[in-house]
Chains A and B, each alone.
Chain A
Amino acid sequence: MPMRRSHVQTTLNGEEIDFLCEPRQSLLEVLRDELGLTGTKEGCNNGNCGACSVILNGRVTNACCVLGVEAEGASVVTIEGVAEGDRLHPLQQAFLEEAALQCGVCTPGFIVAAKALLDAEPNPDEGRVRHWLAGNLCRCTGYDKIVRAVLKASDAQEVTA
């Protein structure tokens, strides 16, 4: 039988919202099925691939490994909250310019994870980028162009700042 649903209040991409969800639903399910934010992808549903990366209270988190009810009082940033209106985030622009995506299904997770990195460390070197992104799997690109895009975005941020 369907479970009784809980009421949750949270800040999602800067906006205070509330939603109902079953206690067994993951944050990933809530984002995708209850809130219609399908940019966050499911690749494995057990924390191995990073396709569902979101920033939860400032930390990169696999949304499949957190319950929706745990978002109570939290701040959540998803891929839908990375661009500012029509203005792409430097990471998004760099991914496009560097052809850092092929199928694109891992891309939201990579961009969200990389954003958390650049928010904390504006000037990572290649080794740091590779280490940080090791929790995000991409099967198309071999990572070369992804790493280049993140390094390029970090340079672009510097110029903007």
Chain B
Amino acid sequence: MTTIEKPAYKVIGTRPIRPDGVEKVTGKALYGADVHLPDLVHGAVLRSPHAHARIRSIDTSAAEALPSVLAVVTHADLPAVADTVIDTGEGVTRASDMSLNVLAGDKALYRGHAVAAVAATSAHEALAALDAIAVDYEPLPPVLSVRDAMRADAPLLDENRRTKQPDGALSDGPSNVAAHSRFEGGDLEAAFADADAVVEREFDTKMVHQGYIEPHNGTANWNPDGTLTVWTSTQGAFAVRAMLAELLRLPVSRIRVVPMEIGGGFGGKIGIYLEPLAALLSRECGRPVQLTMDRTDVFQATGPTSGGHMKGRLAVKDGVITAAEVSLAFEAGAFPGSPVMAGAMCMLSPYDVANFRVDAYDVVVNKPKVAAYRAPGAPNAAFCVEQLIDELAREANADPLAFRLRNSAREGTRMITGVAHPRIGHEETIGAARDSDHYQSPIEGPNRGRGVASGFWFNAGMQSSVVASVNPDGTVNLIEGSTDIGGTRASLAMQLAETLGIPYDDVRPTVADTDSVGHNDVTGGSRTAYASGQAVYEAGLDIQRQLVERAARLWECEAEDVSFVDGELRHASDADRRLTFAELAGKQMETGGPLQGRGSVVARSPGAAYGVHVVDVEVDPDTGKVDILRYTIAQDAGTAVHPAYVEGQMQGGVVQGIGWALNEEYYYNEDGRMENASFLDYRMPTSLDLPMIDTIIVEVPNPGHPYGVRGVGEVPIVPPLAAIANAIHDATGHRFTELPISPRRVVEELHHLR
């Protein structure tokens, strides 16, 4: 596929108003919790108060006897699932684990684990009815960290779990380690022996939540004919449909999932929690049922991403990174599936490192099962590696960006997986950060410091399909199936307008339900503008082909004599024969009937994303508070379709990273109770905590996309943890290796030094 020269673009690169904008600024847009249906009833979920407990029995009879209660369900109401795995497009989960996660079976595996669900005449009545359910628990000792979970004498979450080892064999004895993977290359010991300098440290991070403002919701109507309709806020309606089909043992065709507007996801709204419960309750009571979570439920029972323990050892020789030995152990939560492999595969990908050994451990603990969170696994791993690289640069007396540039991966460099990079933009991105006004300005004053870090994310491709219908007035309706979380209706409409040579406002995009459009994988993996954009482009080409054929028919010439240029049909030799897109659109009945274009793709060349961040901080040594004084992010977007929303992704990712670095954590007591399960205590960044976030969009076109688009959404969260830690080291001379670098930690560690 060839990349079109950028200067030719008319629509791409502009900043039009998003098609769903007016609805969203006037409060008219309908999110999942805004669904109101005739006869709708509400539900509530009973959750385990224990982090680890055997469930001896559940007695729901008193609740069922209440006049307001319409239905009660427990795990016993779920059918036995097939021994299969469900691929949601951003992670693979065993169906049995998913079934046990949505409603606990013999064991509650984390505090907040759903145990039963009730439907009643109102949300208040449903909540009150939970008190009437009697659960007999046998509390068990919880396992709350990877270090504890990996001990030989650790209590086991699942007595039957064996470790899948690097060679694929299962361990002899049971373990909380679900999998151990390894990547090796070169001659590690020789490289360390020959090094000018070696740096080695251990790092610890805590679980953090995606923190979307809209809580999870699910509304279901089980019809008497055995069909099921589900309205929900999800990143992937087709993934929800697939998961429901497995959990409820229904044919896919019997389930219609209607994607409502979504109030943030960041990876956390791919899995399902409430949807199957609402479906079971609806089946039992014969009425549509709506479930919503409160914020405490969201913290305790959804998301988060892994915390864990990391150990790294890096070597430098003549300014070149010659060796890396890194071990990562990530908390998966109650069921296997941490993003440790992704972290392992990302952390060295900005660089060319010849000798390496990387170990990755996926470890279950008595905490919620983790969900994807923006470049899953990569920020934690970068927190480890990018700090060690900062130290290596100091050892090599090199500027940290110059050191990164010297060691940068480029086209052809092999990643630790053995796969060679295609055209990537890490070097260009380093250059943009280096040349920025920010990096070129000195940082002055006591307790101030500057840090930098690089980040890599694969980006995903996967499947997308769209249909575009041409209207008689020359406008186009674009039917797509990608949840719009941050402006993708606009970026897809723009790509179709570009392809058809028509104004952006003439394309009206709609995100359709699962009955109304072909399969689309999740809005995740930074894939939508890229992969659905490619599907949109294919649909545009399909329309172009048909327009050419129709013009040839009208002009009674060969199709080869007709070309489509700048939104116009032109005859090769007769300059008078011209039809605008709108003119031909108005002749559909006489040229072959309604005109539709289709695009279906398996996008396989997403083009990796790189970001290089520069941050200045000021540390108050008395209070421990760290202020972000200035932040600049340079990122390769390939081609920025809608630069304002590209900047928005960059800024939003950075700020989530700032929260992760400085404040956010799941704070557990020894019983496994999360002590800060509210927005007030979890304390995400507010507008008052931040400066403006300066953005530099670098454009190294992705050769795998017709317009050169690369995914942009995830990589901006990768560098901030390390960049901020590097800046704090620059300010204080102290290296912080545990997150979050909260005021308490800063005071404790700095004063201990004194």
Contacts and interface: CB of A to CB of B under 8 A. Distances in A.
Q: Which of B27, B28, B29, B34 has the most CB of A within 10 A?
A: B27
A29 B295 CA distance: 16
A105 interface: yes
Contact of A44 (B33, B264, B295, B655): B295
Nearest to A97: B17
Contacts of B679: 43-44, 46, 48-49, 137
Given A103-B262, A141-B652, A142-B690, A96 B295 contact: no
Contacts of B22: 88, 92, 96
A129 interface: yes
B645 A139 contact: no
B215 A43 contact: yes
B34 A134 contact: no
B667 interface: no
Interface in A10-67: 22, 24, 32, 36-46, 48-49, 51
A142 B25 CA distance: 18
Interface in B648-688: 648-649, 651-656, 678-680, 684-688
B678 A44 contact: yes
B121 interface: yes
B213 A138 contact: yes
B261 to A, nearest CB: 7
Interface in B24-42: 24-31, 33-34, 36
A108 to B, nearest CB: 5
A47 to B, nearest CB: 8
Nearest to B631: A142
Most B-side CB within 10 Å, residue of A37, A104, A137: A104
A98 B644 contact: yes
A82 interface: yes
Interface string A102-117: 1111111001000000
B550 to A, nearest CB: 37
A8 interface: no
Nearest to A138: B213
A105 B648 contact: no
B693 interface: yes
A39 B68 CA distance: 29
Given A98-B644, A130-B687, A147-B692, A105 B31 contact: yes
B644 A39 contact: no
Contacts of B213: 41, 43, 49, 51, 103, 105-106, 137-139
Contact of A43 (B214, B642, B652, B655): B214
A156 interface: no
Nearest to A131: B688
Given A2-B122, A39-B26, A103-B264, A142 B678 contact: no
B648 A82 contact: no
B652 A79 contact: no
B733 interface: no
Contacts of A32: 33-34
Contacts of B533: none
A121 to B, nearest CB: 16
Interface in B1-56: 15, 17-18, 20-22, 24-31, 33-34, 36
A134 B656 CA distance: 16
A119 interface: no
B652 A142 contact: yes
A108 B645 CA distance: 19
Contacts, number: 193
Given A48-B680, A99-B648, A144-B692, A42 B215 contact: yes
A131 to B, nearest CB: 6
Contacts of A88: 22, 25-26
Size range of the chain B interface in the assembly:
35 or more
A27 to B, nearest CB: 15
B687 A133 contact: yes
B651 A145 contact: yes
Contact of B27 (A40, A48, A148): A40
A155 interface: no
Given A37-B27, A41-B214, A99 B645 contact: yes
B125 A2 contact: yes
A32 to B, nearest CB: 8
B263 A104 contact: yes
Contacts of B642: 99
A2 B121 contact: yes
A51 B295 CA distance: 13
Contact of B68 (A1, A46, A98, A140): A1
A142 B684 contact: no
B151 interface: no
A103 B67 contact: no
Contact of A107 (B25, B262, B649, B692): B25
A140 B33 contact: no
Contact of A139 (B36, B124, B652, B654): B652
A120 interface: no
14 contacts: A38-B30, A41-B213, A45-B294, A46-B295, A48-B679, A99-B15, A99-B644, A99-B648, A104-B29, A130-B690, A139-B266, A142-B651, A142-B685, A144-B690
- For the complex of A and B, the 9 pairs showing the least CB-CB separation, nearest first, are A39-B27, A105-B263, A142-B655, A79-B27, A104-B24, A48-B679, A102-B486, A99-B644, A142-B651
Interface of A: 1-2, 22, 24, 32, 36-46, 48-49, 51, 78-80, 82-83, 88, 92, 95-99, 101-108, 111, 129-131, 133-148
Given A45-B295, A131-B688, 10 more contacts: A38-B30, A40-B27, A80-B26, A92-B22, A104-B24, A105-B214, A107-B24, A134-B688, A139-B684, A142-B651
